[in-house]
Homo-oligomer: A and B are copies of this chain.
Amino acid sequence: MKKLVLSVVKIGGNVIEDSGKLTSLLEAFSKLDSPKILVHGGGRKATELGEQMGIKAKLVNGRRITDAASLDVALMVYAGLINKKIVAGLQARDCNAIGLSGADGNAIHAHKRPVGAVDFGYVGDVEEINKITLSSLLNAGLVPVFCALTHDGQGQMLNTNADTIASEIALGMSKEYETILYYCFEKPGVLRDRNDEGSVIRQINAQTYQELLADNSIADGMLPKMENCFHALKHGVGRVCIGDLRMLHSEYMDYTTLAL
């Protein structure tokens, strides 16, 4: 039997700070075929709120540490403010969204990142996606909207990378569904020339990826993202798409698609 297509869309958290971008997201995502899942990142608002509350961002070796106070800020901004604004906006467009953290329905189980050279604090590495919870919600016609928070099953919430949550969800659901992972960001796709937004590379496979690496076409910031994408593809995700919000429209084609 042919598997149903499940779209997993990851967006940055900054989208809610720009009402035009938020509207574009809500319009495009609500029109995307179901079943689908949205994952949103944090964004600048958490830093802003932390500053207002007198909480200083803690950095060790240039890496941000999530202490108890910063975790509270993340709970407030990601699971509260951003998540509910997106959910209410989708509901207004007849998309039956349900906002979730990884603790809700035990949807994403993680463990605190082991302390190595750096103790990142309350940062979680994903252990397992709860397919039973996700399937129940999807089968009920609901559209899960995840913020970038998980839990350890022992009462501790954990700050978790949104890109990773999106790929783990797509991976975890890929036995039951044909999964497509969409990474939405500011750029229209992976660019051959980083200064030319018209130079989108439409198709990348494992072989052309090696060629792009060899001729240094892939910018530093894009490297971990691409590694993450190929990891997902190798483990069951059908397709990974990289581009801006326009790629959620069925008629738009000028973005990057990765496949093995």
Contact of A77 among B80, B92, B96 (CB under 8 A): B80
With A80-B75, A136-B140 as contacts: A99 and B104 at CB distance below 8 Å = yes
Contact of A76 among B81, B88, B157 (CB under 8 A): B81
The CA of A155 and the CA of B153, in the complex, are separated in Å by 33
Contact indicator B140/A92 (Cβ below 8 Å): no
Contact with B along A194-232 (1 / 0, CB 8 A): 000000000000000000000000000000000000000
Which segment, of A47-55, A175-183, A233-241, faces chain B?
Answer: A47-55
The CA of A127 and the CA of B88, in the complex, are separated in Å by 16
Contacts of A257 in B (CB 8 A): none
Contact indicator A151/B91 (Cβ below 8 Å): yes
Contact indicator A101/B87 (Cβ below 8 Å): yes
Contact indicator B76/A155 (Cβ below 8 Å): no
Contact indicator B75/A157 (Cβ below 8 Å): no
For the complex, is A154 an interface residue (Cβ under 8 Å from B)? yes
Contacts of A80 in B (CB 8 A): 75-81, 83
For the complex, is A156 an interface residue (Cβ under 8 Å from B)? yes
The CA of A53 and the CA of B55, in the complex, are separated in Å by 12
Q: Which of A86-105 contact B (CB under 8 A)?
A: 87-89, 91-92, 96-101, 103-105
Q: 18 A–B contact pairs at CB < 8 A?
A: A53-B53, A72-B81, A75-B81, A78-B80, A80-B80, A84-B101, A84-B157, A87-B101, A88-B156, A89-B155, A91-B155, A92-B153, A92-B154, A96-B105, A96-B133, A99-B101, A99-B103, A136-B142
**A75-B85, A88-B151 known, 5 other contacts, Cβ within 8 Å:** A52-B53, A76-B76, A79-B99, A80-B81, A85-B157
